[in-house]
Structure 1
């Protein structure tokens, strides 16, 4: 289990992961594209085990890295600083936000495989992409809790996936390994395991109203067995069909 978690990205998912990590007793180093000075309020809220840094500093400092950035910004991930690191990718592909990427639209790559290609000397694992930020924080439970939820992971490196599983366990979740990066389409927007299971029935609304609504929704526990059922129901469709919940 990492002593220091490096976080690249301080949006809603990144902040939720940071809060869980600090609560679990991990040291947290957070970087973003705007500079450490923009993270003062978040770091003050998180407490003494968190500190602000540049993205490259967070990459070098972390024993394990969470990249919580929009997919469109993936080329900004500091590949040199992430050499040899296990990197957990939280991004989802939404063409209307990220711009159309032919390899994803045609199913040649998954979004995480695209990031792995950029981070050729890192070991990338898909994680944290199927749950909204508020529910990620509110549904976390101890290992022996009867209402503990599970989250999906996917990756090509067994050691990196073991590290991701360990982090999820410490943060309050079981892990369901869905296979390789090529298999990670099963966790993409529009698939049965994506977001809806943790929320229940979602009223029709625009993206901004949806985000406000999730802040009030208590969330629904989704155990590993239920994740398995949802995976079996997955059908691959053109990437990016769903609307973005702006989770990054």
Structure 2
């Protein structure tokens, strides 16, 4: 499969390396141009390009940038894409911590619906509800007991199946998260977000989400306690279980 990846940080870079090993044809880009992506691309057997090259002729495009960066993409970028390209959004909105406030989202529009409107294309929300350590280290073969699961939200059945197949081959059970309008159920501080659950518990978490509650949790209890976990700059592997425990405690199932 021809996959373009825009953003090769922790999440995008991990997925790029995994999918390249699985035999997909990868073009990777970041905000600084092809030369800045070349060393990474060469290391995983991919092709370094710019954002236009990542989109053209791609069957799948993964957007893995800081959330507001979607507005800095070239206008009409996806006019160059195939009509049925599958666009995956991995980003999360963290206002006042990392991101500027976006009035439409604060008023209740799901994050990925807002992204879809910026791009003028239908998209899929996936790979946003897992931490880097788990994505890199905790995948397991299909059928393994207690295999972690990831929700996928989107409106097109064919495209959703493509994304769910990619989730599966990455080492996680895909869970249907409903339509893109339902993707608020897997946004930060919801019961299905970054809790390292199996498929059954992930479905339970999606169903348990309460509209509007996650934003309050995110901006109060979660923010204070999360920042405290990183105060002494712990190693990622050490802090990961503490973050998972925090997330579960704020949304007990």
**TM norm. shorter chain > 0.5:** yes
Question: Greater relative contact order: 1 or 2 (C-alpha under 8 angstroms, separation 6 or more)?
Answer: 1
Indicate which of 57, 67, 76 corresponds to 2:53.
Answer: 57
Asked if the contact 2:26/2:47 (under 8 Å) is kept, the reply is yes
Q: Secondary structure at the match of 1:79?
A: helix
Q: Distance in 2 between matches of 1:184 and 1:164?
A: 14
1:227 and 2:205 are equivalent in the alignment: no
Asked if the contact 1:127/1:154 (under 8 Å) is kept, the reply is yes
TM-score with structure 1 setting the length: 0.80
Q: Which has the higher helix share?
A: 2
Instruction: Show CA shifts across 1:32-62 (max 9, x none).
Output: 111011112212321x3x1111011011142
Question: What's 1:89 paired with?
Answer: 89
Aligned CA-pair RMSD: 1.9
Q: Secondary structure at the match of 2:49?
A: strand
Question: What's 2:171 paired with?
Answer: 172
Q: Distance in 2 between matches of 1:69 and 1:98?
A: 12
Q: Distance in 2 between matches of 1:4 and 1:83?
A: 11
* Alignment coverage as a number of residue pairs: 215
- Extract unaligned runs of 5+ from structure 1: 199-221
Instruction: Show CA shifts across 1:79-130 (max 9, x none).
Output: 32345221000010111222111111110x111001111222x330000001
Q: Distance in 2 between matches of 1:12 and 1:178?
A: 23
Instruction: Show CA shifts across 1:155-186 (max 9, x none).
Output: 12222111111111222222111111111111
TM-score with structure 2 setting the length: 0.79
Question: What's 1:27 paired with?
Answer: 25
Deviant stretches of 4+, over 3 Å: 242-245
CA shift, 1:190, in A, is 0.8
Question: What's 1:74 paired with?
Answer: 70
Question: What's 1:10 paired with?
Answer: 8
Structure with the greater alpha carbon radius of gyration: 2
Question: What's 1:116 paired with?
Answer: 116
- Extract unaligned runs of 5+ from structure 2: 228-253
Asked if the contact 2:57/2:82 (under 8 Å) is kept, the reply is no
CA shift, 1:139, in A, is 1.6
